[in-house]
Amino acid sequence: MNGTDGLTLTQILLPAWLATLVFVFLASIGILFFPRIHARIVKGFLPILFFPSLVVMIGFIVQGLETSDRPIVHWIFHKEIHDSLRLGFLFDPVTLVISVVIGAVLVATSLRNRPPVTILSALGLGWVSVSLVASSKTFWTAALALGIGIIAKVVPILGGKSDPDPHGTSIDSLWMSSTKRSWIGLLVTLVGAAGLAAHGLHLDFFSEGTWTDLYGSPNTLIAGSFFLAGLLLQFLPMATSAIYHWDRPGFFEEENFIFETAMAWVSVLIIYRVLPNIRDTHWATGVQGAAMLCLAGSFLGLAFLETRRAAISFWLSNYPLFVLTILPALHGQAAFLFLAGSIVAFGGLFICLDHQKTRVDLGLAVFFFLGMFGFTGWATSLGTVEFFSRFEEAPVLVSLTALIWLIYAAFGFRIVLRGGDTPVRTVNLAKWITSGFLITLGFGPALSGRWSSGAIPEVSDWLDGAKDWPWIKPYAAETITTNWLGFGLVHGILLVGILLGIFVWATAKIFPFSENYPKGLRAARGVFGGDWLHRKWIDGLTKTGTLWAEKISDPVWERWLPQLSKSVLARLQRLGEWVEDISDHLTSARYAHLFSAPSKLVQWLHGGNVRLYAWFALGWILIISLFLTR
Amino acid sequence: MLKDIVLFLPETYLILTSIGLILGEVGYHGERVRMILATAILAVLGAAAQLLLNYSVGAGRFGHLNFINDGFALFLKTLLLVSAGIALFADRKSHEVSLENRTEHAALILGVTALGMLLVSAVSWIWIIALLFATQILGSLILSMKKIDRRAIEAAFKGNISAIYSTILVSLAVILFFSATGEFDLYRIHAALIEKGVSPRLYAAGFSMIVVGLGFFGTYFPSQLWAKDAYEGASLPATAFASSFFRITSFGVLVRVMIVQFSKESTDKGFWVPITAMNWLPVLAVLAGLTLALSALYVFGQTKTRKLLAGILVIQSGFYLLGLLALDQVGFASILFGLATEVFMIGGLFASLSFFEDRREEGDRGSQLSRSAPEGIALLFFLIAVVGLPPLPGFIAKFTLISSAARHQWNGLALISLLSLVLISIAVFKWVYPWVYELRQRSESFALSWSHRFLLMGLVVPLILISIFAEPMLAWVGSSVAFLQW
Amino acid sequence: MKILIPIMVFAPAIGAVLQILNPRPLFCRSVAIVAALASAVAAGILFYDIDPTMAGETPKFVVNWMKSYSIHFALGVDGLNLLPTVATALIFPFLIVSEWDRPSGRRGIHALLLILETAILGSLCSLDLFLLLFFFLMIPIPLYFLSSIWGDEGRESAAFRMISVSLVAGASLFFGILLIYHAVDPHTFLIDDLKGKLAGKSAEVFGMNFEMGQLAFGMIALGLALRAPLWPIHGWFRKLLLRVPTTVGVAAILGSYPVVLTVFTRIGFELFPETMNSHLDFWIGAGIANLIFGALALLQEKDLRGVLVSLSSLAVGFSMIGIGTGHQTGLVGSQFILFSSLIALAIWGFASEILRVRARTYVISELSGVLRTLPDLGSSTLIALACAIGIPGTAGFISISLLTIGSFNYHPGVVVTSLVVSVVVTGFIVQIFRQVFLGERSESRFPKLDIRERVLLFPLVGAILTVGFFPSPLVEIVRMTIARILNLGSAG
């Protein structure tokens, strides 16, 4: 393939990829301006949109998955100026996996739900922002992607209906709260990045050297914390729970992707790219801690949602946060596999969770659910096993993560079992194809490049430099230490989570499915002695949930905050008007009165009395001559 | 002798034509074609041609050493001729002036211009006093050129009164100097003052009397308070001609007297210094400052058109005093440049204003400008020039005058002049609004006769040329000042 | 290539003169648009040809105008005034187009707009103080006639206030320049000759003796501050824009802060570097005051045209902060914000004009649900607002990020305040956008945009996006000049 003097595939791959991204961007913006055209191609819009990118991806696989990138191009200012902002693009396996999975998932859901044009264009923009981040080498390209993500959030309102539902929250509020959140997040990140750039840190993703001098001066400390806090702010579904307290018909998968998960995955990718720089520093553990905190916070919101649809969306939108609980601790091959695996699992769940409880649907959902938690055989298992096998090194961190994972798994499995409550749809061919594709992709060896896991010696690996796949015995590569404890812990969490999911949480008020499984309920209480969970404690939990919902979350977001902001705005408005009046007087015409008094005096002087002439003249002659002879 | 004839030629030619006109009027019995305007204009053009002849004759004294033919005088003479030409045209166009006595007006204008040209080149006091008195009396008569109107006659009356006062004062001063030096010729008085020296009291009294006397028609401080009454009453073309005529003549005499009699050449060429220890520059500075401040305040309070314009006419001399203050060649050049631009600006402004005033029925205050767009644009054009805003030469003239003051560290005075410019421009823009605000609706417009267009073009084009070719204009003015023979 | 500058500056004036001389309406309309386009094309060629490394001399056109007063007719385009000039030349043809089919008085409004364009371009490009004064004083005159003839009721007091404030500003500028002219020994007006000669000179007014750096610079700064709607003394600007159709409003904006801030940077950093650098925190304070009170003003807007006023005072605030940093990036940011805010304001102006034609009102509360009926108008206004706030992908983002970097170097506190204000402003702008464009559809059916209105909006939206993605050619040129000016002023 290479060696021909002409343009080799690798050389033209990256420009072609950028061209497809620009094409998708322009097409999604363009479709807004020509609504009539969309009517004709409504079904096939996204596939047509993503087809050229698919061709490029296939090209990438054909040329051997070799990362092709361009040297970093300076964007603003000359290279040698220390605070110059730089652009850089690349196309590597991470880009491939993310673009393919997200693309396939979006195509499947859009073919199934057939959303209106604004939602479709927002999906296109969301995909562009995710793939652009995946294929960016410097933060500033990623910043452009964040910008596109925000535009994607704004687009649905261009055509969105504005019928307010009982809670008084219309699509605007959906748009308002999540866009505001991501806009503030973006701004905080930009300030942080600008601060870092001002101090010579080029934020290139592949530059060596950890950001040790991040502790150098208070400014960099502030800038660094701004940078990471902004990214974390992108995916805090808990902070805008108003969305999930409201249930309306429509395209909840698409809206979930546009308003929550797209920006969340963009931030996870940025943090993944920045990983080599912040590995083994306090920043990494800081991010992990923050992610855990937020996840715990969102459990409260999660536990007490009335409708299954809201529960699915909320649980899924917390998934990136969940990924971030252990991603910062991993590195190299493990990090890549964990990230890629969780993207695939996310894709699968995204499609299959809203199922009708048929056997096949349930099986698929369970399979992807297992993949999420690093069940052996899944690509994610390498990362999870490696993290949990560090129990001795960081017992507190690992145990806390295990607890959080346990609760998350419990909720997850409850939702997996229950499925969604959308009406039965026709069998959707696209959904099955995509699920099949995702299963093969999620399969450990596929992603790790050892197709035959070394079993069939002469088959060449399609991902050179890959290591053997740890079927049973924990993986023993030089850099990664995994042991049985980690392996056991991971699968233990899974098991306990599933059991908890089925039985113990039967009495949770949200999902009235505890009645459907009386036998299971008794068994769980027996095995686990559910009784030690005093009723009061569960009721307490329920009460705090409802308390949180009625007394704090709703009033805060629906009544208290709006009133506060309205009163503040009104007062500010009065202040603005008062200031405008005051500053208006500064250049008002009343200054003219300053001169009116003297001009009246002068006019009086100008009396036309002839007799005065001479005396006045003589008077002045006297004054002048006296002055001259003084 | 022959040289005298040649040098007196332009004035004699004008006087002969005015006498001819009067005879024509006397002998008139009903011919349809009167050709008054044509003859008058021909006279002016002829005089101008002869002036060029004087240029070639070169600097020198003539008329028994009573007159001088130097660049300064020649430049002022050309200005007088131009303002006379404009006045004749404007007078013909205006409806304010009754048609029957057009010949008297033409004759009067020509006669006054001839006397003015003589006055400007006169060097000995006798001739200066005589010509001053004659021009001022006849000039005031011009002010009364209007259909029978009490206010015009009152204006003329006030003009005569001030003529009498100014002549008395100037002649008193001349008597004082004659008693001290026994001379009437400026140069000889100057020489005598330097050798013999003179008692400071006498020198001060003489100086102040001359300054205040010439002020009557130079319209700076003491007399500026009442000078504008004359301008309010008279008809528009008459006011334009009278104001520029009086200002040119009185400043011509003032500058010559100040330079020749009261100051001597300082060390480096082109700079003058007051002769005796008595430094009279602060006096001029105070006069200039008061003129500017008081007339600016007066204009600021005005709303009526005539009073506003009269105030604006009066304030111009305040600026020329700034040029005189500098007592250097560039200062005088800026005075002459200011006078040149003023002739065209004031002429144009009053011509277009009379066009509108004549056609306005009583009481309708609506926007006039839409009545005739070209005329309206010309009016706005001249207004902006008179007020001294770019892009017209008024701005350059005002700049040169103010910078000549600033050159000699009179920064305070420069600040006052700038503020007064701001005040009068604010008043003018406040006054313009009723003329402009309904320009959107197209109301029927007056027919614009070709001769009127010609008059407008004749005024607008030179203004534009002056601003573009400011450099050659300034050079020519500079060279004519250098002519001054001390 | 040098001859292009006078062509760019005087093409509109020639167009205006032809307008006045020739009464045939159709001919006049085409003459107007041809003149404006000629100037825009000349600006484009100048921009394209200027070599970014600035190694060669920047294009200058110097001719002796009045040798005896050493006044030169010096027009030049360098990095500093390139951006506002290109923006002005780019926007004016659109102004002419937006007045394309005004029923009465179209010839007058086109002529006055063209004269205004010459005045603005002249004052931007002039390198001679007298010429700068000449054009600077010329700007308010056509504006006065534009506002007093084509304004709504209450226009007389607004026009009168505008002209009196501008005259006072012109007088103080005149006095400052006069002092400079007479302080230098061989009197000269050329800025290049005056560089560095003004340190330590002093002038005496009414007996008191003032140091040149204070008096002359103070008077010039006062004059400029009065003309740019700097916050406390911007009452006249708000009153003017609230009484005038938006085309004239946008023209007034073009004549106000871009000219003033470019001239302020040039005179400040080239003639009075030490005064400029000793008052840096004052400029930043002024900038922040402008930001805060601009945001407050934006909140209490009840009229679409009022939004123009508050957005322009925001742009002034950002630009003053840029100047205040005295740092190279900050200054580049301040020049860039001029460019991006101008285009954003122009689009908002045209959009509100289009809305007025349909809804017969500028008042925000009477408009609602416009987006349903005019999606393309809504989207272009959305992009314009995004550019005004500084969302990535638009030209505004480049300027905001440059300013943040510049001010971060100066003091992080500045960044935090500007961050807080821009978040607040985003909230307010979102509020206004929702009020006008979202909400339920108002009952009146607005006709679709016709070709003329699309031509008004889309090219400018395209400009914002292209500059947003490929800013480096623009930024490079400005940076080189500012580096030269700053090194000259031995600062930054």
| Angle subtended at Cα C140 by Cα C139 and Cα C141, rounded to the nearest 5 degrees | 95
Mean pLDDT of chain B: 83
Hey, is the C-beta of C156 within 8 angstroms of any chain B C-beta? Answer: yes
Does residue A360 or residue B324 have the better pLDDT? B324
Residue C64, φ and ψ in degrees, nearest 5 = -75, 125
- Residues A563 and A448 both lie in one domain: no
pLDDT tens column, B379-409: 888 888 888 888 788 888 888 888 888 888 8
Q: Which residues of A touch C426 (CB under 8 A)?
A: 183
Between CA C333 and CA C486 the distance in angstroms is: 14
| CB nearest to A629's CB, from B204, B228, B297 | B204
Helices C257-271/C472-488 angle, 10° precision: 40
| Within a domain: A408 | yes
Domain housing C382: 280-492
Category of B366 on φ-ψ map: left (φ > 0), alpha (ψ -120 to 50) or beta = beta
- Residues A368 and A498 both lie in one domain: yes
Which pLDDT value is given to residue A74?
A: 61
Amino acid found at B482: A
Helix (H, G, I), strand (E, B) or coil at B263: strand
Does residue A548 or residue A354 have the better pLDDT? A354
- Give the best-scoring range by mean pLDDT among B31-35, C194-198, C339-343: C339-343
| CB nearest to C405's CB, from A83, A188, A579 | A83
Beta bridge partners of C208: C205
The question of ipTM being above 0.90 is answered as no
| CB nearest to C379's CB, from A32, A223, A586 | A32
Query: How many CB contacts within 8 angstroms connect chain A with chain C?
Result: 135
| Token pair 């320009």 in the structure block, residue | B439
Which pLDDT value is given to residue A208?
A: 62
| Within a domain: A295 | no
Does residue C399 or residue A62 have the better pLDDT? C399
| CB nearest to B212's CB, from A595, A600, A617 | A617
Hey, is the C-beta of B433 within 8 angstroms of any chain C C-beta? Answer: yes
Percent share of chain B, pLDDT over 70: 93
Mean pLDDT of chain A: 72
The average pLDDT across A162-172 equals 48
Q: Beta strands B263-265 and B272-274: pairing type?
A: antiparallel
Mean pLDDT of chain C: 85
pLDDT tens column, A336-347: 888 888 888 888
> pLDDT band at A37, cuts 50/70/90?
low
Quick count: other Cβ atoms within 10 Å of Cβ C119?
A: 27
| Token pair 């993605």 in the structure block, residue | C469
| Within a domain: A61 | no
If one counts the domains in chain A, the total is 3
The average pLDDT across A551-563 equals 71
DSSP letter for each residue of A7-30: --HHHHHHHHHHHHHHHHHHHHHH
Which pLDDT value is given to residue A451?
A: 47
Helix (H, G, I), strand (E, B) or coil at A48: helix
pLDDT tens column, C210-269: 887 788 888 999 999 888 888 888 888 888 998 888 899 999 999 999 999 999 998 888
Hey, is the C-beta of C157 within 8 angstroms of any chain B C-beta? Answer: no
Percent share of chain C, pLDDT over 90: 19
| Within a domain: C127 | no
- Residues A582 and A605 both lie in one domain: no
Beta bridge partners of A580: none
Nearest CA to B386 out of B454, B326, B315, B330 is that of B315
Closest approach of chain C CAs to the CA of B429, in angstroms?
Answer: 7
> Are the beta carbons of B300 and A620 separated by less than 8 Å?
no
Longest dimension (CA), chain A: 129
Which pLDDT value is given to residue C263?
A: 92
Which pLDDT value is given to residue C330?
A: 84
| Within a domain: A583 | yes
Domain housing B384: 2-482
Q: Which residues of chain C from 53 to 72 reach within 8 Å of chain B, CB to CB?
A: 64-69
Which pLDDT value is given to residue B200?
A: 83
> Are the beta carbons of A191 and C415 separated by less than 8 Å?
yes
Which pLDDT value is given to residue B368?
A: 66
Contact C380, C465 (CB under 8 A): no
- Give the best-scoring range by mean pLDDT among A43-47, C134-138, C213-217: C134-138
Which pLDDT value is given to residue C38?
A: 92
Q: Which residues of chain C from 87 to 106 reach within 8 Å of chain B, CB to CB?
A: 104-105
| CB nearest to C434's CB, from A172, A184, A219 | A172
Does residue C387 or residue B362 have the better pLDDT? C387
Domain housing A566: 540-588
- Residues A570 and A610 both lie in one domain: no
> pLDDT band at C142, cuts 50/70/90?
very high
Structure tokens, A61: 């696989």
> Are the beta carbons of C156 and B419 separated by less than 8 Å?
no
> pLDDT band at A60, cuts 50/70/90?
confident
- Residues A379 and A457 both lie in one domain: yes
pLDDT tens column, C427-456: 788 888 888 877 776 666 778 888 888 888
Closest approach of chain B CAs to the CA of A559, in angstroms?
Answer: 52
Helix (H, G, I), strand (E, B) or coil at B264: strand
Lowest model confidence (mean pLDDT) among B223-237, B321-335, C301-315: B223-237
Helix (H, G, I), strand (E, B) or coil at A383: helix
pLDDT for residue A522 is more than 70: no
Between CA A334 and CA A314 the distance in angstroms is: 27
| Within a domain: C368 | yes
- Residues A358 and A494 both lie in one domain: yes
> Are the beta carbons of C427 and A194 separated by less than 8 Å?
no
Contact B204, B315 (CB under 8 A): no
Amino acid found at B401: L
Which pLDDT value is given to residue A476?
A: 40
Q: Which residues of A touch C415 (CB under 8 A)?
A: 191, 194-195
Which pLDDT value is given to residue A541?
A: 58
Longest dimension (CA), chain C: 71
What is the distance, to the nearest Å, from the Cα of residue B253 to the centroid of all Cα atoms in its chain? Answer: 12
Does residue C485 or residue C40 have the better pLDDT? C40
Q: How buried is residue C289: exposed, middle or buried, by Cβ count under 10 Å (0-12/13-18/19+)? A: middle
> pLDDT band at C174, cuts 50/70/90?
very high
Q: Which residues of C touch B412 (CB under 8 A)?
A: 205-207
| CB nearest to C391's CB, from A147, A180, A184 | A147
If one counts the domains in chain C, the total is 1
- Nearest chain B Cα to A628, which residue? B204
> Are the beta carbons of A157 and C438 separated by less than 8 Å?
yes
- Residues A492 and A445 both lie in one domain: yes
Hey, is the C-beta of A174 within 8 angstroms of any chain C C-beta? Answer: no
> pLDDT band at C208, cuts 50/70/90?
confident
- Residues A453 and A565 both lie in one domain: no
- Name the DSSP class of B61: E
The average pLDDT across B337-362 equals 84
Residue C303, φ and ψ in degrees, nearest 5 = -135, 140
